[in-house]
Chain A
Amino acid sequence: MLEYVERKKKRITVLVSLLLLLLIAIYAGISFGAVSVSFKEIWTILVSSSEGTYEKIVYNLRLPRVIVGLCVGACLAASGALLQGVMRNPLADPGIIGVSSGGGLFAIVTMVIFPQYSYLLPFIAFIGAFLTTILIYLFAWDKGASPVKIILAGVAMNAVLGAIMNGIMVLYSDRVQSVIGWLSGGLNGRSWYHVEIILPYTIIMLLISLFAIKPVNILILGDDSAKLLGQNVELIRMLIILLASFLAGIAVSVAGLIGFVGLVVPHIIRLLIGEDYRFLLPFSIIGGAALVVIADTAARSLFDPIELPVGILLAALGGPFFIILLRRRRMV
């Protein structure tokens, strides 16, 4: 009885903390930076429609950037959570199904070889990510695709695409400047244009991902148990992996390769509340959104006036934090 009550309390505590963190993230993302804007000023700007410098900074620069950050974080965390569930592997993240290498390769080819199409970059990167996932799945398929096979096919695919990417960068070393920033993953200069691109897809895909909650929960019991409960395990796993690829592809399309979020956010939430996806998935979405915006705010404030790509900061600070967390909890 006790554990049951405690678990409920813990879920509520974690949810409230995550929501608070999200609010702080949004506030900090709008307020902090080269020019600080107070809470009162933000409020005035949001409810009125005057046209001062602050208004321009808040409305044209920071607000869209925060919204893009929220979408990117939410999509990456949801993608990672779903993948870890259907693969029953805590190391699964969007990179493993080729989202990073596929999106990256297509983006590099566009930026370096066909720069005239750079305005289509988000769509091209997304298509690269999604196609690579499908290819990996086809390679892994043999009367079904077990998680281990998918992961191995993913590793092989990532190696090949990574080699091609490096090859292109060596051959076109004079043009790689723009590529490096993109590969590090950043939100610099993201505007309402990017919001318009990803917000609708983010909302639709996150809503669809809620329908994956029950199937993932059943799959966690193991393939045999899920089959014995009348589930079409192969179909469910394929659909959820495609959904996860789509979600991560959305993030890659506008923010480049931001690692770490998809791997670690679901992990931290799992350590806190367990792996019931009714809670794990929505909590991860909130946590991922908050984390990316907070990290991005830090990335552009810490070394002012130089802006770090948020992907670098996330990996550099997040990695050690994650190790500490794992060691303290003594569980993986």
Chain B
Amino acid sequence: MAVLKSEELQFRQGKFQLHDINIEFPEGKMTAIVGPNGSGKSTLLKLFARLLKADNGLVTLDNQLIHKYKRKEYSQKIAMLPQAKEVMPSITVKELVGYGRVPFQRLTGPVSEEDKEIIAWAIRETGLENMADRMVGQLSGGELQRARIAMALAQKTSVLLLDEPTTFLDITHQLELMKILSRINKTYQITVIMVLHELQYAGAYSDNLIVMKRGEIYQTGKPQAILTAQLLKEVYEIDASIKFENNYPVIIPKN
């Protein structure tokens, strides 16, 4: 279990600024972070993943400042799926997932039995058993994203951060991915924190929703309680009606 939170977090990069971010991510739950482009969602995620360093304020994991952890120690506690921008090397799915064990390994030496078991487990959890020996370059977008999730799972962390995991996927693979994340969260009580663009998935799959606007947290709460027409107007600047059907928010813009 792990408690990840921030107090008075501030960060500035050029003109962009995050101010006074106070969050505590509920343990073992699914949290979605939404907001318009440039609202600071990805930046926030990177600050928690230690890819960026805050200018001011405290970010703590289990009441210890995150920069007090050793690099590898932190990678054993928090895994993150960055946006899928980087070109993948020509390796197999199994090899890619194997990189998730790096925080537990030394510079040299063979892969331990425990590592092998965990790699196999991560591959099973993401339904990639049949593709374990395929080259990552030959996977479809959805399969590749699952392989990347498997790599993060292999880190065996109690927190998993995901930066726009569904972007570039078709609806079939988006749904498949959300189901995998939801199942992992429920089965292993892994805290899932994801930046999403699609309000439908954010509404349907998260227990906790964080809405951001211009570098600030606009609102936090259960999706059904806070996703309202007023929020759409104030955050996204659109006139639309919103209602929930079978947990899914249905948004209909007005002309």
Contact = CB atoms under 8 A, between A and B. Distances in A.
B80 A275 contact: no
A228 B74 CA distance: 9
Interface in A203-258: 211, 214-215, 217-218, 220-222, 224-225, 227-232
Given A228-B49, A228-B51, A230-B72, A4 B90 contact: no
A225 B82 contact: yes
A232 B71 CA distance: 7
Given A221-B99, A228-B80, A231-B71, A3 B135 contact: yes
B183 interface: no
Interface string B110-153: 00000000000000000000000111001000000000000000
A177 B67 CA distance: 58
B22 interface: no
A196 to B, nearest CB: 30
Contacts of B70: 230
B89 interface: yes
B99 A275 contact: no
Interface string B226-250: 0000000000000000000000000
A235 to B, nearest CB: 10
B103 interface: yes
A215 B99 CA distance: 11
Nearest to B138: A3
Contacts of B90: 274-276
B172 interface: no
A211 B107 CA distance: 7
B50 interface: yes
Contacts, number: 69
B166 interface: no
A227 B89 contact: no
A237 to B, nearest CB: 15
A3 B133 contact: yes
Contact of B99 (A224, A227, A229): A229
A306 interface: no
Nearest to B131: A1
Given A218-B99, A224-B82, A274-B91, A229 B75 contact: yes
Contact of A230 (B75, B92, B108, B135): B75
A230 B82 contact: no
A229 B89 contact: no
Given A3-B138, A225-B82, A214 B91 contact: no
B102 interface: yes
B177 to A, nearest CB: 19
Contacts of A4: 92, 133-135
A221 B51 contact: no
Contacts of A222: 82, 85-86
A227 B72 CA distance: 9
A108 to B, nearest CB: 39
A20 B49 CA distance: 49
B86 A227 contact: no
Interface in B43-69: 49-51
B79 interface: yes
A228 B82 contact: yes
Contacts of A231: 71, 102
Given A229-B103, A230-B73, A275-B90, 16 more contacts: A3-B134, A4-B133, A4-B134, A7-B135, A214-B108, A218-B99, A221-B88, A221-B99, A222-B85, A225-B99, A227-B50, A228-B79, A228-B80, A230-B102, A274-B91, A276-B89
11 contacts: A215-B107, A218-B99, A221-B89, A221-B99, A225-B99, A228-B49, A228-B51, A229-B75, A231-B71, A274-B91, A276-B95
